Amino acid sequence: MDPIRIAIVGIGKIARDQHVPAIRGNGAFSLAATVSPQDAGLEGVPHHASLDALLAEGPAVDAIALCTPPQVRHALASQAIGRGIHLFLEKPPGATLAEVAALEAEADKAGVSLFAAWHSRFAAGVAPARAWLAERRIDKVSIVWREDVRVWHPGQAWIWEPGGLGVFDPGINALSIVTHILPRPFFLKDATLVLPENRAAPIAADIAFRDTGGAAIHMDLDWRQTGPQSWDIMVETDAGMLKLSQGGAVLHLPGGTEHGEDIEYAGLYRRFAALIRGGRSDVDTAPLRLVADAFLRGKRQTTAAFHD
């Protein structure tokens, strides 16, 4: 079977750190081109300044991984779908829920595979956590996602603009795990968003969810964490405590701890290849829907200005 010729659109930090090695490490794909208006691309790989130029001048591609900021993603995605190109959407899949729903309908009509990728769902501890929790009674869940924005998002102005999500950019990773591992759906009861006085997106948030069985789910997001960083999910059950730490990579169960390797993007590209080969799509907007609900329903507090 010929490899899937894939282009990366949007060559930033996540593309270089994660997408390029994952594509090069997967025989189902060949990296055919890169697109970026600012960047020179990669040694030995055809490069264009725009998707228009790629589509006009080639090389031909079967698939695109879209890694641009969410605010400009829809038009590029729609253009690719219109050309019959399969699409991998880096998280979050769009700046709005309605545009993702529209893309899903367009992809369905065009017969291309659309993959709304949630990389944290492919962290090593997540699949075994989901399997273990499927049989349990859930009593209480605590999510603590505290990191230093200056380390992880240096100078990324778009992340502070409306539609950029602020601290929900990492927080949506936690939500992508929790929506995947808990056996019941859950929804927001109360939320407080904390915004720097000079920014349009929150730097911290405190959210109370409830699942349909009545279990309380608390989420603590903070981008002002210097020193040790926390990406932890604790689930209290009738069989004891499950803890996922390091963003899902390490799973602690009452019987012992499993340490996993970083396999997130390798897992994502295996999944994307399977979707394309199977003629299917995978577009779960539940994590983005919870974030939209937090903006819709949350109280807002103002805090000190933030400067990079």
97, amino acid identity: L
SS3 of 218-279: EEEEECECCCCCEEEEEEEECCEEEEEEHHHCEEEECCEEEECCCCHHHHHHHHHHHHHHHC
Q: Residue ranges of the alpha helices (H) in 87-209?
A: 97-110, 126-133, 149-152, 168-181
Closest separation in Å from C-beta 294 to its own copies: 9
Nearer to its own copies among residue 32 and residue 112 (C-beta): 112
Per the residue annotation, which of 91, 109, 140, 243 is the catalytic one?
Answer: 91
Nearer to its own copies among residue 30 and residue 71 (C-beta): 71
Catalytic-residue membership of 91: yes
Cis status of the peptide bond prior to 59, with omega within 30 of 0? yes
Nearer to its own copies among residue 15 and residue 288 (C-beta): 288
Closest separation in Å from C-beta 106 to its own copies: 7
Nearer to its own copies among residue 106 and residue 148 (C-beta): 106
Nearer to its own copies among residue 25 and residue 111 (C-beta): 111
Q: Give the binding site for its own copies (CB under 8 A).
A: 74, 78, 95-99, 101-102, 105-106, 162-163, 185-188, 191, 200, 212, 286, 289-293, 295-300
Return d(Cα 117, Cα 287) in angstroms, integer: 11
Q: Which 3 state secondary structure label does DSSP give 29?
A: strand
| Encoded tokens for 181 | 């591992």
92 burial via Cβ count (<10 Å: 0-12, 13-18, 19+): buried
Closest separation in Å from C-beta 68 to its own copies: 16
Return d(Cα 146, Cα 140) in angstroms, integer: 20
What do you get for the CA distance between the two ends of the chain, in Å?
48
Question: Residues with catalytic annotation?
Answer: 91
